[in-house]
Structure 1
Amino acid sequence: MVNPDIATADGERHDIPRISLALFLAGFSTFSLIYCVQPLLPEFSVEFGLTPASSSLALSLTTALLALSIVCAGMVSEAVGRRGLMFVSMGSAALLNLLASFAPNWQTLLVARALEGLVLGGVPAVAMAYLAEEVPQRRLGKVMGLYVGGTAFGGMMGRVAMGALTEFLSWRAAMGTLSVVAALSALAFIWLLPPSRHFQRQPGLNLPYHLAAWKKHLQDARLRPFFLVGVLCMGTFIAVYNYIGYRLVAAPYRLGQTALGLIFLAYVFGIFTSSAAGALVDRLGRARVIGCGALVSFFGLALTLADGLPLVIAGISLVTVGFFMVHSVASGAVGRLAQGHKGHASAIYLLCYYAGSSVLGSAAGALWRFGHWPAVAAFGGLMALGVLGVALALRAQDSAAPAALQDAGGSARGSAAVQASRSPVVVASSVSSRSAAPAGRALPSARHAASGRSRR
């Protein structure tokens, strides 16, 4: 789907700033809507008489449906187009979030949040595919970085803004306000984003091809450890961010919603850590950096058991730093080690990542019922130690990685341009139903499909 020759044929595009701003808004809107309920979980418990585990479903259901829709949305975009699908996803999510704010009961709110996760998958699954198709390669990194920055900023501000607004408004009014902002972002997005120039609509979903690609990656012993890391590191992170609020609004801290929301500014440390982790991998290797991140998270969890508020905040910050170290390295490793069909491999990683958020996040809530914060911290610590165990098992693989990458580079040299143009699309499960397979090893369904298709 992504052809670097087409993408750069027009020379310098004059609408790159519009594309950059549009995709920044898409990232901001999507992830602020996903995580806006996290600081509200204690409010939901009071409003609806819920346990922490039940309250966490407002986020867990969203991320669970998001994981499934990310896998499917890339295929759908091949048939219906990139730009329109992203706009519909953003607009529908804003409307569903608004409906959730008016929900008369807990069941209605959960249905709205689940549907919100389902429709939001159309943004991360498609945004990077659009960029890889439409932005010249020499400018792709910068524009992609702005999109990723928008997702991080949205994830942080969705949490912080909800905490601040709930101090002065009801949680319903706060969610409604964010929904309006998200709707305006969707309108600005469709106005700013130019129509696709290089997209070619394809009928059908070519499901056998995608199933074969996913099966191939699940059978790859080099990738499976990183899929497990995605589950465990996200489970640790969400366990802390979901339930630390319950501890801090109670005695002896009794923090208000504004102060509680500001706790989520610890997210900033993680954003900077992601950039530094890449440089550390070059010096230390993937296994060591993942292991260090797991240890940082483990010691951060231990600090959250202290009584002093500054120590608790320091612990949250360390957990955040450790999470971003692990996640950035693991997600990058999946994209680098996958032999062809990199978008499919990354989709599996994201499926595991959000499964950790939904399943393990809710499991931590059940532990709160029996042991409150010490039980949650212990559960998070076990998951961090699980990541450390995977890192230790990866030491042999990490030492052999240069030779493996050299072999992979030689086998794929004949199709390097096509693969390079696809590799940035790390969140689309199927940037194209015609993604290049490793040289000389096209999947049967892909080979059959290619026979009647002209090259771009």
Structure 2
Amino acid sequence: MVAALVTGGIATFAQLYAVQPLMPQLAAEYTVSPDRAALALSLATAGLSALLVPWSGAADWIGRARVMTAALAASTLLGLAVPFAGELWQLLALRAVQGMALGGLPAVAVAYLAEELRPADFPRAAGLYIAGTTVGGMLGRLVAGTAADLGGWRWGVAADGLLGLVALVLFAVLLPRPRGFVPRRRGGGGPGLGRRLAASLADRGLLALYAQGLFLMGGFVTVYNYLSFELLGPPFGLSQTAVSFLFAAYLAGTAGSALAARLNGWTGRHRALLLAALGVAAGAALLLLPWLAGIVAGLVLLTFAFFTAHATASGWVGHRARWRAQAAALYTLGYYLGSSLFGWIGGIVYQHAGWPGTVGYVLALVAAAAVASLALRGRPAAAQQRV
């Protein structure tokens, strides 16, 4: 089960982030500013966010496994069409629709695990799934950047499309048949989707967890969106392939995700979130150093701490929520809304305030996440019933 979701995470996040290391090439080919080039990612994450709640509702009716498989199949077909986009608007439109399809897996994956596994096994499995998403994000960036250095950005996106196709096949073969969930039927009783969403928005503790994804992801994606512009130019002057290999820092995120459950056991969830936010801030500050070694160290620390926070917050949502599918979808909505909105705003900050101003902007987002987490101090779960 975990192996299937890891391959699904690779299929999803390799394709979602395929364009991130290619933004300087997109900006050069279409003669646009960095924030315009970043729309190739922001619109995809916005599309993903837009359909998270509908995907979660569909999963209640037809089942989690069917939704995840259908979403991955549709997104992979769309991803294979992206390299054939001629105009910028065509590229952006395809990426937006692909993002809508990609939302099917992250909208319900954590809920699927929570329903299929024993409570004692769930935190570790959720951490491993998040680790799989980091592997997908890393592979997508490495494969796209290396292929693009050889043949241009279209080859980079095409290579990630093929990677997604292989991962989709593995996902379909490995995914076990669901045993812990019976699809909801119309007229079968229970509150409707609107009431389940309202209940998932009424808990202040859940709102604080959604805010972690919103603010921390906004700062994280800003770093990865615009750091490549800095490293390709003076004084570093790195090649596209060299910049792409910096995304191997995602391996630190894989470790952070896998170790999050253990850290939660040692310190408690709230302290783990605060420690992770502190680590993100320290890593961002190191990115101001004029030495490549310092930047690499900062990127590794920031990535490790971010995914520790993400695994902690998303797992806490699954543990706390009464309506798991809707709460998980709302957390993921906040997560990708942060990527779309704050990642795009980060491009405007970068264009007008340079890299130091961009790092200051990231630190402000981390501070907002830390303040929001104060609502979680000593707050028990809102409901004992889990659905």
TM-score (norm 1): 0.77
Q: Residues 370 and 134 of structure 1: is their aligned pair in 2 closer, same or farther, counting only changes over 3 Å?
A: closer
- Structure 1 residue 284 and structure 2 residue 267: aligned? yes
- Residue aligned with 2:334, SS: helix
Q: Is the 2:107–2:328 contact (alpha carbons within 8 Å) kept by the matching residues of 1?
A: no
Once the two structures are superposed, the pairs formed by residues 338-349 of structure 1 within 5 Å of their partners are 338=321, 340-349=322-331
- Residue aligned with 2:160, SS: helix
Give the equivalent residue in structure 2 for 1:10.
none
Q: Residues 356 and 76 of structure 1: is their aligned pair in 2 closer, same or farther, counting only changes over 3 Å?
A: same
Q: Is the 1:300–1:315 contact (alpha carbons within 8 Å) kept by the matching residues of 2?
A: yes
- Structure 1 residue 240 and structure 2 residue 256: aligned? no
Q: Is the 1:228–1:352 contact (alpha carbons within 8 Å) kept by the matching residues of 2?
A: yes
Task: Give the aligned residue type for 2:193.
Answer: H
- Residue aligned with 1:50, SS: coil
Q: Residues 274 and 181 of structure 1: is their aligned pair in 2 closer, same or farther, counting only changes over 3 Å?
A: closer
- Residue aligned with 1:254, SS: coil
Q: Residues 210 and 58 of structure 1: is their aligned pair in 2 closer, same or farther, counting only changes over 3 Å?
A: same
TM-score (norm 2): 0.89
Q: Residues 190 and 295 of structure 1: is their aligned pair in 2 closer, same or farther, counting only changes over 3 Å?
A: closer
Cα distance in 2 for residues equivalent to 1:100 and 1:281 = 41
Q: Is the 2:52–2:330 contact (alpha carbons within 8 Å) kept by the matching residues of 1?
A: no
Q: Residues 128 and 327 of structure 1: is their aligned pair in 2 closer, same or farther, counting only changes over 3 Å?
A: closer
Q: How far off its partner does 1:363 sit?
A: 0.2
Deviations 1:126-146 (A, max 9, x none): 445555666788877776665
Q: Is the 1:290–1:387 contact (alpha carbons within 8 Å) kept by the matching residues of 2?
A: no
- Structure 1's unaligned 5+ residue stretches are 1-18, 420-434, 436-456
Give the equivalent residue in structure 1 for 2:29.
47
Q: Is the 2:71–2:102 contact (alpha carbons within 8 Å) kept by the matching residues of 1?
A: yes
Once the two structures are superposed, the pairs formed by residues 202-217 of structure 1 within 5 Å of their partners are 202-204=184-186, 209-217=192-200
Give the equivalent residue in structure 2 for 1:111.
93
Deviations 1:78-126 (A, max 9, x none): 4445444433322221221122111101100011000001111222334
- Residue range with higher mean Cα deviation, 153-162 or 211-220: 211-220
Aligned residues: 386
- Structure 1 residue 252 and structure 2 residue 235: aligned? yes
- Residue aligned with 1:222, SS: helix
Q: Is the 2:127–2:258 contact (alpha carbons within 8 Å) kept by the matching residues of 1?
A: no
Cα distance in 1 for residues equivalent to 2:20 and 2:206 = 31
Give the equivalent residue in structure 2 for 1:271.
254
Which among 296, 301, 307 is matched to residue 313 of structure 1?
296
- Residue range with higher mean Cα deviation, 213-222 or 303-312: 213-222
Cα distance in 1 for residues equivalent to 2:69 and 2:206 = 33
Q: How far off its partner does 1:40 sit?
A: 0.8
- Residue aligned with 1:176, SS: helix
Which among 289, 297, 307 is matched to residue 324 of structure 1?
307
- Residue range with higher mean Cα deviation, 93-102 or 72-81: 72-81
- Structure 1 residue 167 and structure 2 residue 149: aligned? yes
Deviations 1:381-414 (A, max 9, x none): 11122223334x34xx52x34xx36xx7xx73xx
Cα distance in 1 for residues equivalent to 2:98 and 2:231 = 28
- Residue range with higher mean Cα deviation, 51-60 or 80-89: 80-89
Q: Residues 133 and 333 of structure 1: is their aligned pair in 2 closer, same or farther, counting only changes over 3 Å?
A: closer
Once the two structures are superposed, the pairs formed by residues 351-390 of structure 1 within 5 Å of their partners are 351-390=333-372
Q: Residues 132 and 225 of structure 1: is their aligned pair in 2 closer, same or farther, counting only changes over 3 Å?
A: closer
- Residue range with higher mean Cα deviation, 130-139 or 230-239: 130-139
Cα distance in 1 for residues equivalent to 2:366 and 2:6 = 32
Task: Give the aligned residue type for 1:115.
Answer: V
Q: How far off its partner does 1:181 sit?
A: 2.7
Deviations 1:172-206 (A, max 9, x none): 01211221232233334334546556765555599
Cα distance in 2 for residues equivalent to 1:347 and 1:170 = 35
- Structure 1 residue 86 and structure 2 residue 68: aligned? yes
Cα distance in 2 for residues equivalent to 1:383 and 1:53 = 18
Cα distance in 2 for residues equivalent to 1:263 and 1:40 = 13
Cα distance in 2 for residues equivalent to 1:223 and 1:190 = 32
- Residue range with higher mean Cα deviation, 63-72 or 230-239: 63-72
Cα distance in 1 for residues equivalent to 2:178 and 2:275 = 42
Give the equivalent residue in structure 2 for 1:37.
19
- Residue aligned with 2:192, SS: helix
- Structure 1 residue 97 and structure 2 residue 69: aligned? no
Larger radius of gyration: 1
* Identity score, percent: 33
Q: How far off its partner does 1:235 sit?
A: 0.7
Cα distance in 1 for residues equivalent to 2:253 and 2:362 = 18
Q: Residues 92 and 293 of structure 1: is their aligned pair in 2 closer, same or farther, counting only changes over 3 Å?
A: same
Q: Residues 207 and 153 of structure 1: is their aligned pair in 2 closer, same or farther, counting only changes over 3 Å?
A: farther
Task: Give the aligned residue type for 2:96.
Answer: A
Cα distance in 1 for residues equivalent to 2:347 and 2:79 = 23
Q: Is the 2:108–2:328 contact (alpha carbons within 8 Å) kept by the matching residues of 1?
A: no
Task: Give the aligned residue type for 1:307.
Answer: P
Cα distance in 2 for residues equivalent to 1:99 and 1:173 = 12
- Residue aligned with 2:51, SS: helix
Q: Residues 370 and 143 of structure 1: is their aligned pair in 2 closer, same or farther, counting only changes over 3 Å?
A: closer
Task: Give the aligned residue type for 2:334.
Answer: C
Deviations 1:323-345 (A, max 9, x none): 1232222223333333x213322
Q: Residues 202 and 58 of structure 1: is their aligned pair in 2 closer, same or farther, counting only changes over 3 Å?
A: same
